[in-house]
Amino acid sequence: MLIRSTSHLPAILFLLFAAASLVCSSTPPAQELLRGFTATPDPSVSSFQSLLQDSTGNFSLGFLRLNSNQLALAVLHVPSNEPIWLANLNQLVRWSDRTQLLFNGSLVISDPITKVFWSTETDGNRVVLLNSSNLQIQNSNASPTVPWQSFDFPTNTVVENQNFTSTMSLVSSNGLYSMRLGNNFIGLYAKFEADTELFYWRHRALEAKANIVEGGGPIYVRVDPDGYLGMYQNGSTPVDVEAFSSFQRNNNGFLMVRLEPDGNLKGYYWDGSTWVLDYQAISDPCELPSPCGPYSLCTPGSGCSCLDNRTEISSGRCDASYPDNLCGVDGGESANNFNVLRKNGVELPFKELITYQTTSSQAECEGLCERNCSCYGSVYNNGSRFCYLVDYPIQSLLSDGDESKMGYIKISESARKKKITAGLGVGIGLLGGAMVCLIAAVGVGSYRMWRRRRRVKRMLEEEDGGAIPGPYKNLGSGSSRSIEMT
Ligand SMILES: *[C@@H]1O[C@H](CO)[C@@H](O)[C@H](O)[C@H]1NC(C)=O
Ligand SMILES: *[C@@H]1O[C@H](CO)[C@@H](O)[C@H](O)[C@H]1NC(C)=O
Ligand SMILES: *[C@@H]1O[C@H](CO)[C@@H](O)[C@H](O)[C@H]1NC(C)=O
Ligand SMILES: *[C@@H]1O[C@H](CO)[C@@H](O)[C@H](O)[C@H]1NC(C)=O
Ligand SMILES: *[C@@H]1O[C@H](CO)[C@@H](O)[C@H](O)[C@H]1NC(C)=O
Ligand SMILES: *[C@@H]1O[C@H](CO)[C@@H](O)[C@H](O)[C@H]1NC(C)=O
Ligand SMILES: *[C@@H]1O[C@H](CO)[C@@H](O)[C@H](O)[C@H]1NC(C)=O
Ligand SMILES: *[C@@H]1O[C@H](CO)[C@@H](O)[C@H](O)[C@H]1NC(C)=O
């Protein structure tokens, strides 16, 4: 037996060598990048080209292909292919051999002929990816100081142990929603048109264990591996603890919190095979900033319909458009630049964050809106006499059933047939695909939570479909809403 196998030794050694060289021929991604490093995108790579790995192999920095021929520098969670950080989201570059990533002290994305697209503007010695997913530029080996780290420039996601401070913001992949910190709260904001911002969700610090001290410095938040979103001022005792489902359950899955394209803030943990939904800021879909799209009605527990009861909601949208001109003309409705839709039994979502005035009648409330060139509509409460003016492009109103709440809505004179514009479809690139996978994976976990609201969810999926990451460079100007509005 022994003799026989020894006689095969050369062959076995050869096979081992062959196998080893096979493995090694595809060079594994580096563990650090030093000055002089350059890389260009490989035309044969269809999704992600890894350039740098963390020590566990769970995270990777590389070129992420988006919209088929564009590129973002991204940190990916490798087991799920989920991008958790993007460098150049405001200016994607072409997936072409003229595009180059280099490290010369700064990490730079450039096109040698035209320009520098993105740069960390640092003077460091090396680039490393920590096992926390934090990409760092460090400038000495002995006791590294860190002139730059990706944790300070989050995209739409914060991961566990990442500090989110009052100077940062999260922006959803479609550019519509953002998260920022106030002096004692976490705020979510929507941008449905260029110069107005809608404040739609606020979580104030409870200050149960520690108080926020005025003048004691800005607050920051951090996802704690024990399953909560902690808010801190300058001490280690949180001024607020927003518990996730996994709170104190010791499940030790890697946690992240993401501002989703529907405007919800969600927490997930990685259970080794999928991202499991662990937290959502807004649990009632009707309280999302635009669950059913423009000029719609969201009925809790039942779903989406249109404000104009003569129209049907189709492909998740109501067939109505905003007036080009909101200015009313003195001398009666017929002369106005818009039509008016009146609907009773409606309520503004998150109205506790919207200022109101008191008027003596519905007519007076409507009058305030009618002549105001930035007012899209009003809701008058005939009981409390509160008059709410809507100064953002009207999205979904809540169906309330209380007929004393009276909606007055400006709407375009000619109901224009809207088509899904090509621009929306183009955006669904690889990141879109990855998000769809995440949504699908998460969907399984959250199915039970949502089952009771299945009809709403069906509509929401349509909404998600339209809102999946568009070309990032269109941020601000070319969101799906502004496409409709132009
Ligand atoms: C690094 O390269 C960029 C792009 O070529 C250049 O603008 C920058 O000055 C360089 N920095 C250093 C320290 O050489
Ligand atoms: C991550 O890195 C830290 C510090 O280098 C180390 O203490 C920790 O054990 C690492 N975690 C894993 C999972 O490798
Ligand atoms: C987060 O902030 C805490 C407190 O200031 C600090 O100790 C910790 O190092 C920070 N973490 C990171 C990853 O920067
Ligand atoms: C931290 O907060 C305390 C009050 O709790 C305050 O007296 C102190 O000045 C703060 N320190 C800094 C550095 O802001
Ligand atoms: C990292 O990889 C290990 C196995 O190598 C796995 O157990 C762990 O869940 C991974 N962590 C993340 C955040 O993916
Ligand atoms: C639509 O609503 C108006 C009043 O809001 C009502 O008079 C009308 O009957 C409704 N039409 C349909 C088709 O439900
Ligand atoms: C018009 O409405 C907006 C939004 O409600 C309000 O801020 C503004 O003061 C109003 N303008 C006038 C002239 O009433
Ligand atoms: C509004 O309130 C007034 C007085 O409280 C009442 O007379 C009127 O009928 C109410 N209108 C509606 C539509 O509920």
Residue 338 is predicted with a pLDDT of: 87
Binding pocket residue ranges, ligand 2, CB within 6 Å = 55-56, 131
Averaged over 435-460, what is the pLDDT?
36
- The verdict on the CB of residue 149 being under 6 Å from ligand 3 is no
- The verdict on the CB of residue 125 being under 6 Å from ligand 3 is no
User: What's the CA gap between 436 and 459, in Å, rounded?
Assistant: 16
Residue 325 is predicted with a pLDDT of: 84
- The verdict on the CB of residue 213 being under 6 Å from ligand 4 is yes
- Indicate which atom in ligand 8 lies nearest the CA of residue 344: 13
User: What's the CA gap between 172 and 265, in Å, rounded?
Assistant: 9
Q: Which ligand places an atom closest to the C-alpha of 212?
A: 4
Averaged over 38-42, what is the pLDDT?
96
Cβ contact 129:59 at 8 Å: yes
- Indicate which atom in ligand 7 lies nearest the CA of residue 372: 1
- Residue 398 pLDDT more than 80? yes
Percent of the residues in the chain that have a pLDDT greater than 70, as a whole number: 78
Give the dihedral sign, CA 441/445/447/453. negative
Residue to mutate, 132, 163, 167, 231, ligand 3, most ligand atoms under 8 Å from C-beta: 163
pTM of the model: 0.81
475 vs 112, more confident: 112
- The verdict on the CB of residue 151 being under 6 Å from ligand 3 is yes
Domains and CATH numbers, the chain: 1-153 (2.90.10.10), 156-283 (2.90.10.10), 296-416 (3.50.4.10)
3 state DSSP class of 444: helix
pLDDT digits (tens, 9 = 90+) for 219-257: 999 999 999 999 999 888 999 999 999 998 877 799 999
**Position 421 confidence tier, pLDDT thresholds 50, 70, 90:** very low
- Ligand 5: residue whose CA is nearest its atom 7: 272
Residue 55 is predicted with a pLDDT of: 96
Residues with Cβ within 8 Å of residue 324, at least 6 apart in sequence: 337, 412
Averaged over 127-135, what is the pLDDT?
97
Of 16-30, 135-149, 297-311, give the lowest mean pLDDT range. 16-30
Residues with Cβ within 8 Å of residue 14, at least 6 apart in sequence: none
- The verdict on the CB of residue 122 being under 6 Å from ligand 1 is no
